[in-house]
Amino acid sequence: MAVYAGRYSMTSENGKTGYIKISPKGNNLVLHEEWSGDNIDLKHLSGDNFLMGVKAWAAHFNRDKTKAVVSVEICGADLWTKVK
């Protein structure tokens, strides 16, 4: 699960950038919203696919050609890019 860990950013239509932090938690992950302080459990389904526990939203991690995780897509709409 450590391969998914890191800080991710997304800039909204109004130009504000938000950040989330993803950390391993056993066989699953925890997503921390930096603007609200909320922690949301991500349950591992298969491969790079997870389910956000409370909201039951799909979370899919994307990889580049070298198989490194570069982003996470939430609900097929919000794309969060991993901060280097």
Convert the pLDDT of each residue in 17-36 to its tens digit: 999 999 999 889 999 999 99
Q: In Å, what is the CA distance from 56 to each residue of 43, 59, 83?
A: 10, 9, 25
* CATH of residue 41: 2.40.128.50
pLDDT at 12 over 90: no
pLDDT at 38: 93
pTM: 0.91
**Residue 75: domain span:** 2-82
Total structural domains in the chain? 1
Distances (CA, A) of 34 to 37, 47, 49, 66: 5, 26, 22, 29
N- to C-terminal Cα distance for the chain?
18
Q: What is the pLDDT of residues 27-67, one digit of tens each?
A: 899 999 999 999 999 999 999 999 998 778 999 999 999 99
Parallel, antiparallel or unpaired: strands 39-46 and 17-25: unpaired
* The predicted structure's pLDDT at residue 27: 87
Q: State the Cα–Cα distance between residues 69 and 13, nearest whole angstrom.
A: 24
